[in-house]
């Protein structure tokens, strides 16, 4: 039996998926425009306004189109779509069925990232939404659209890479020339001169100096932040509330002593604009005396030493009151913290108690203290000190004279610095020689590694000597502050917070209730 011949009938398509004429002739296409400029300068602002006006008029002039809106982004790069709020809202509206067609100036206005461009266009095509790029005359619903989009967006991405590299080169050239820039709008104490250089704003500089003085007097960043907030002093960003991190940033920024470390961060990827802290991946530059200082170099260095000292102490310096971080448990070495007893009763009171009292395997046996008990003990003990302040001040002055003789230490430091420079020069010579002549790289790497290790050890020794000099200056400063606090006072009858900060390093609480005051001159007094 013969097999019947196959009969194939074509059923023609009735709907063209990606045609710009999908909708019936009587249904108007919902059309949106997209405008973007990448900078906020005045010239670009004019371009931005012109784009918005153009697309509004252009879409409304088409009787077959229904105007939705012109979505916009100002001052935002096109290399990544994540932070472009106008763009992202437009795409959400399109995918939700509220837009049929998007009109924009060019591929570079839409995105310079090929992946973002194609991913977005394909998502829109799946919903039957087209994009028209006027400059390139591309309709993404056209059969040739995707090929042209791939080519054009790749070219735009390379253009963005070139611009990014040029900007990066310009920045690094300015850094290598020692030209200092600051975020002046959010930088307390400085404003921009007409030539772009920093100048001191004295009304703000007074606040910066006060922050350093309060910190060196014993206040913590959180305590300083609370004080500035209570005084109604606006933060560098113009906000009413100060944050601990803002105070810490001021205390650690070398620009306040007139120096500048340049290229602290760098852009890892020009597409996502991800920034990374420079940990040696690229050169950094340190410029001394680059601009007028607000605080003396000695004051800045003292603040760094105090920050490090507090960090190494292992105690949390919260700074809620002058007692925070200063009261130590004699049982476990933990820090006393403020607690509230009977908060919902008429017997409510604030007490100080070891933070680790119920957290260690063996419960601490040190007693709790009230503010009044601490203050009364301080009054009695400090008055005992004031009665013999002449002898104490004499002893402190002798100690200051001894600490001030730093000539042997400074001579050793200078020798260590010269040794570091010699090793660095040898490393640079070795690199240049390797670039000029062919060498066994395994041998070169071994020699260079050994020299690098010697340089690391030498710089560590130099840092250690710097630390010793700074510790001497810090100790001298504490002794001078201690002497000044004693010198200007006779016996006191009420608690003085400033005197507490100037004289007390820590207060240790023993299990039997004994209190040991550790004074800032290094001596102790038991109560």
Query: What pLDDT does 181 receive?
Result: 66
- Regarding predicted confidence, which is higher, 1 or 361? 361
The average pLDDT across 15-33 equals: 61
Nearest-angstrom CA–CA distance, 416 and 465: 9
Asked if the 191-313 domain carries CATH number 3.90.1750.20, the reply is yes
Q: What pTM value is reported for the model?
A: 0.48
The helix (run of H) or strand (run of E) holding residue 133 is strand 130-133
Tell me the pLDDT tens digit for each residue of 438-496.
888 888 888 888 888 998 898 889 888 888 887 787 777 777 777 877 777 788 888 88
> For 114-153, what is each residue's pLDDT tens digit?
666 777 887 888 888 988 988 878 888 876 666 666 665 5
The domain over range 327-526 is classified in CATH as 1.10.150: no
Name the one residue in this structure whose structure tokens are 């060498």: 439
Fold adopted by 29-164: Rossmann fold (3.40.50)
Token pair of 293, please? 């200082």
Q: Which residues pair with 192 in a beta bridge?
A: 198
Q: How many CB atoms lie within 10 A of CB 519?
A: 21
516 Cβ contact list (under 8 Å, min separation 6) = 330, 507, 508, 510, 524, 525, 526, 527
User: In angstroms, how far is CA 145 from the centroid of its own chain?
Assistant: 44
Q: What's the pLDDT at 176?
A: 47
* DSSP count for the chain of H helices, then E strands: 14, 17
Q: Which residue did the predictor score with more confidence, 92 or 405?
A: 92
Q: Once rounded to an integer, what is the mean pLDDT over residues 26-42? A: 74
Please work out, in degrees rounded to the nearest 5, the angle formed at the alpha carbon of residue 280 by the alpha carbons of 275 and 282: 65
Encoded tokens for 326: 């200063």
Q: Which of 518, 507, 413, 506 is nearest to 461 (CA)?
A: 413
Place of tokens 């390379």: 158
Domain regions of the chain by residue span: 29-164, 191-313, 327-526
Scanning 314-440, the segments in alpha helix (DSSP H) are 371-387, 389-404, 407-436
pLDDT tens per residue, range 65-117 = 999 999 988 755 544 455 678 888 999 999 999 999 999 988 777 765 666 67
* CB 251 within 8 Å of CB 221: yes
104-113, 202-211, 430-439: range with highest mean pLDDT: 202-211
- In angstroms, how far apart are the furthest CA atoms of the chain? 131
pLDDT of residue 14: 47
Q: Is the pLDDT of residue 18 over 80?
A: no
């Amino acid at each position: 039996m013969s097999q019947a011949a196959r009969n194939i009938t074509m059923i023609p398509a009735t709907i063209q998926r990606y045609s710009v004429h999908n909708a019936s002739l009587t249904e108007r296409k919902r059309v949106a425009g997209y405008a973007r400029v990448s900078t906020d300068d005045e010239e670009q602002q004019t371009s931005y306004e012109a784009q918005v006006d153009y697309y509004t008029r252009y879409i409304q002039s088409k009787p077959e189109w229904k105007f939705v809106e012109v979505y916009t982004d100002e001052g935002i790069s096109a290399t990544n779509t994540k932070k472009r709020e106008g763009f992202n809202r437009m795409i959400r509206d399109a995918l939700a069925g509220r837009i049929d067609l998007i009109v924009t100036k060019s591929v570079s206005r839409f995105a310079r990232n090929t992946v973002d461009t194609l991913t977005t266009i394909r998502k829109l095509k799946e919903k039957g939404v087209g994009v028209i790029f006027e400059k390139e005359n591309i309709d993404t619903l056209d059969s040739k659209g995707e090929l042209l989009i791939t080519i054009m967006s790749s070219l735009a991405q390379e253009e963005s890479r070139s611009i990014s590299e040029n900007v990066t080169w310009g920045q690094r050239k300015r850094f290598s020339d020692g030209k200092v820039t600051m975020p002046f709008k959010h930088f307390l104490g400085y404003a921009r001169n007409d030539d772009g250089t920093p100048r001191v704003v004295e009304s703000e500089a007074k606040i910066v100096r006060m922050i350093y003085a309060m910190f060196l007097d014993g206040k913590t960043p959180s305590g300083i932040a609370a004080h500035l907030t209570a005084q109604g002093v606006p933060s560098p960003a113009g906000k009413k509330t100060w944050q601990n991190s803002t105070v810490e940033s001021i205390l650690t920024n070398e620009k306040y002593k007139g120096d500048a470390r340049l290229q602290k961060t760098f852009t890892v990827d020009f597409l996502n604009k991800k920034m990374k802290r420079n940990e040696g991946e690229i050169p950094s530059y340190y410029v001394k005396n680059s601009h007028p200082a607000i605080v003396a170099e000695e004051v800045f260095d003292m603040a760094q030493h105090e920050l490090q000292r507090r960090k190494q102490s292992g105690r949390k310096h919260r700074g809620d009151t002058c007692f925070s971080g200063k009261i130590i448990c004699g049982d476990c070495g933990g820090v006393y913290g403020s607690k509230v007893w009977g908060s919902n009763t008429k017997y409510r009171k604030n007490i100080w108690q070891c933070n680790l009292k119920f957290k260690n395997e063996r419960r601490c046996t040190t007693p709790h203290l009230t503010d009044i008990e601490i203050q009364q003990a301080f009054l009695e003990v400090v008055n005992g000190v004031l009665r013999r302040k002449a002898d104490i001040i004499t002893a402190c002055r002798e100690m200051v004279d001894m600490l001030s003789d730093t000539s042997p230490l400074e001579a050793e430091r200078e020798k260590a610095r010269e040794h570091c420079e010699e090793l660095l020069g040898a490393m640079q010579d070795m690199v240049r020689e390797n670039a000029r002549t062919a060498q066994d790289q395994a041998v070169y790497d071994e020699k260079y590694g050994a020299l690098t290790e010697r340089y690391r050890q030498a710089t560590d020794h130099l840092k250690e000597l710097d630390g010793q000099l700074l510790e001497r200056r810090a100790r001298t400063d504490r002794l001078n502050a201690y002497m000044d606090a004693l010198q200007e006072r006779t016996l006191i009858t009420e608690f003085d917070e400033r005197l507490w900060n100037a004289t007390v390093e820590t207060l240790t609480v023993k299990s039997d209730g004994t209190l040991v005051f550790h004074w800032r001159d290094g001596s102790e007094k038991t109560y």
